[in-house]
A = this chain, B = another copy of it.
């Protein structure tokens, strides 16, 4: 029987491997590490890398927390239960070069007591926010995700791709955060036809696919030249990222409402972001082409 301490331990190993690989990939900066304890129970390890060669600011957070569910969360889960356990990894990387996309990955496990029974589920996903959409990279990224999903369950990619389109949507801007990816939540044997062990394997596969996916995305783009106008455009796109995180992201909201460690919750925020009034992209510019692709339902695999 799969138990929570196994999940936490293996997640932490994935965090270690990812951080090692990212340091190698960056080549200059190293992670600073903060081990923190949660007042209500458990804790975590936040690792942040800043001012690197590839990465301007990035965070790789691991946590395993437990205790009593806060009132607000009980309400949103529609439950009277109190004892919960949650563990996960969360990553956001903001690159220097505007041709390199922002990437986000999250895998998580949650359980709570429900009378005799335990309620448990997994969630997670990977999604990519290019400052400039490069069609071939976007397509390869989605194909890679589809491949990883298909190993575990043929239905996952299509379902979780659509879910990401809906979730990573900036409603007030009428645009998606980026080119999407996959997003899933509350998956269990009942709704996947997989065993707990198989779901856990899928969850780890997502975690382990992060580095190869990111390597592919940065290989060419990190060496592309860029000018100050393109850097300014990157700052503007990051402001949309900030808006999404503060207004819509469930993880951030959960953190803000439960008075979590604020530097860990907001490590995903951009190192520099810009809000320009009434920006209009030039017709047929790279910027305009990117804006046109920030919509739901694009079939990046079939492109």
Which residue numbers of A lie inside 8 Å of B, CB to CB? 32, 34, 48, 50, 57, 59, 171-173, 235, 239, 242-243, 246-247, 255-256, 259, 262-263, 265-267, 269-278
Which of B255, B266, B271, B275 lies in contact with A269, CB distance below 8 A?
Answer: B275
* Nearest opposing residue in chain B for A265, CB measure: B172
Which of B255, B256, B273 lies in contact with A272, CB distance below 8 A?
Answer: B273
Q: Which residues of the other chain, B, contact A276 by a CB distance below 8 angstroms?
A: 50, 271
CB–CB A272/B235 < 8 A: yes
* Nearest opposing residue in chain B for A247, CB measure: B246
Report the separation of the CA atoms of residues A256 and B172 in the bound assembly, to the nearest whole angstrom.
6
Report the separation of the CA atoms of residues A267 and B255 in the bound assembly, to the nearest whole angstrom.
27
Measured CB to CB, the closest approach of chain B to A259, in angstroms, equals 7
Q: Which residues of the other chain, B, contact A57 by a CB distance below 8 angstroms?
A: 275, 277
Q: Is the interface of A mostly helix, strand, loop or mixed?
A: mixed
CB–CB B271/A274 < 8 A: yes
Given contacts A172-B262, A272-B273, 16 further A-B contacts (CB under 8 A): A32-B278, A34-B278, A50-B276, A57-B275, A172-B255, A172-B256, A172-B259, A173-B262, A239-B269, A242-B246, A242-B273, A242-B275, A243-B246, A247-B247, A271-B274, A272-B272
Report the separation of the CA atoms of residues A266 and B276 in the bound assembly, to the nearest whole angstrom.
10
CB–CB B277/A263 < 8 A: yes
CB–CB B242/A263 < 8 A: no
